[in-house]
Amino acid sequence: MPGFLVLAVVALTTAGATPARSAAQVAARDTAGVSGRHALLTRRDIAAVALLGATTIALLPADRHIAEEVRDPGPQRSTVLEEGARAFNFLGDPGTLVLGVATYGVGRVVRSPRLTDVGLHTTEAIVLSGAATGLLKGLLGRQRPYVEAGDADDFALGSGFRNGRRASLPSGHTTAAFATAAAVTEETGRWWPHAPRFVGPVLYGGASLVGLARMYDDKHWASDVVLGAGIGTLAGLSVVRYNHDRPRNRLDRWLGVSSLVPTVTPTGDGAVGLAWNASIR
């Protein structure tokens, strides 16, 4: 793939995320109800969703050309690109979910509320955005690029639920990657205000590479990646905002363990048992 096209696709991917991010940040002032707390989705978030939809539709005519560039024999014969695509495909799914759950587990074991929050809220964002993506995949029924080269306009509404070859729009791997990037960037920004300027480019850049990997493997069109990026980003920002507005919400109370205290108990015959007592905050 020519270098200019790689940069263009990354820019498009990031652009798909940017409206959601900006709207979600501005929505920090958009309160819901007399409590002053934010809803999971604010009016500005809904506007961002509409903008993302419009951006995706605007990109549809370019999908075929971009796919042809990606299929160029030169890049496809590159061992480096092939191995890189395989790694970033794994990072998108199941890598992001594994990392989210692992971070949550480590946070509990070492009794770190910050790590626990990062892991829990990242996992929530992945699950929430994954549900939205799965619903759209099923409803839209868009044919994947590898099924028939060049046929980017083949939609069969409702067929994506029963046929994985018609579950192209949006990209689930990209959604998970951007949900992770958004949630982790926002969480770290709450500890250290300057963190997003360092953490954000790395995480959002990696998420963009996940989207490019899906295109390289001919699993998704460019517009699939852009919409997935926007959904994931919006989910990550919304979940972090919502949970920190409601630190005593039921899920955080059940799973947000701030301390785990090991207890050694004699069991007889010289043996002992090891248990963990959790205090739920």
Instruction: Tell me which of 200 and 255 has the higher pLDDT.
Output: 200
Instruction: Return the pLDDT at 257.
Output: 47
Mean pLDDT on 26-52: 63
How many beta carbons lie within 10 A of that of residue 33, not counting itself? Answer: 8
Instruction: Return the pLDDT at 60.
Output: 94
Instruction: Return the pLDDT at 43.
Output: 82
pTM: 0.79
Asked whether the predicted pLDDT for residue 177 surpasses 80, the reply is yes
CA angle 70, 74, 75 (to 5 degrees): 50
**Percent residues over pLDDT 70 in the chain:** 75
Query: What pairs with residue 257 in β-bridges?
Result: 280
Mean pLDDT of the chain: 81
Structural domain boundaries, residue 241: 3-280
Q: Rg of the chain over CA atoms, in angstroms?
A: 21
Instruction: Return the pLDDT at 38.
Output: 60
Q: Domain tally for the chain?
A: 1
Mean pLDDT on 246-272: 56
- Burial letters for 134-151: b for 16+ Cβ neighbours within 10 Å, e otherwise? bebbbebbbbbbeeeeee
Instruction: Return the pLDDT at 15.
Output: 42
Instruction: Tell me which of 140 and 23 has the higher pLDDT.
Output: 140
Phi and psi at residue 258, to the nearest 5°: -95, -15
Task: State how far the Cα of 270 lies from the Cα of 179, in Å rounded to an integer.
Answer: 49
Q: Which regions of 27-74 does DSSP assign to beta strands (E)?
A: none
Q: Is 151 in contact with 89 (CB distance < 8 Å)?
A: no
